[in-house]
Amino acid sequence: MQSEQEAWVSQFRKGVIELAVLGLLAGERRYGSQLVDDLAGFPGLAISAGTVYPLLARLKKAGLIDSSWQESPVGPPRKYYVLTPAGARALASMREAWRSVSADLGTIVGAS
């Protein structure tokens, strides 16, 4: 059974995971399981492959990311994802919105 705190973290994660994925793709192209691994390094943002792949499909359908297959030196080909110009603009807007929400929430609940 999920604790109350785990439920809150899950809800917070749902609200920001798109921003996190776009932020990671702004740094470099990545394949799906690489995104899962990268996010696992941030426990509050860790998601499963079952969550990341539908998100990637939605982002691609929205024109925010693009994908291409590339041969892998250690296995089958991998589908790499990259931010599109529209995705970069969306990320910039989302970052600004995040800064505003984060600052306001910090003021309300206190930073300590």
CA distance 3 to 51: 21
Residues 29, 97, 93, 91: what is their CA dihedral angle, to the nearest 10 degrees?
0
CATH of the domain at 28: 1.10.10.10
Per-residue pLDDT of the chain (112 residues), as tens digits, is 668 888 887 788 888 999 999 999 998 999 999 999 999 999 889 999 999 999 999 999 999 999 999 998 888 999 999 999 999 999 999 999 999 999 999 899 986 5
Residue 17's domain comprises 4-109
Strand (E) or helix (H) holding 81 = strand 75-83
Please state the pTM of the whole predicted model: 0.88
User: How many independent structural domains does the chain possess?
Assistant: 1
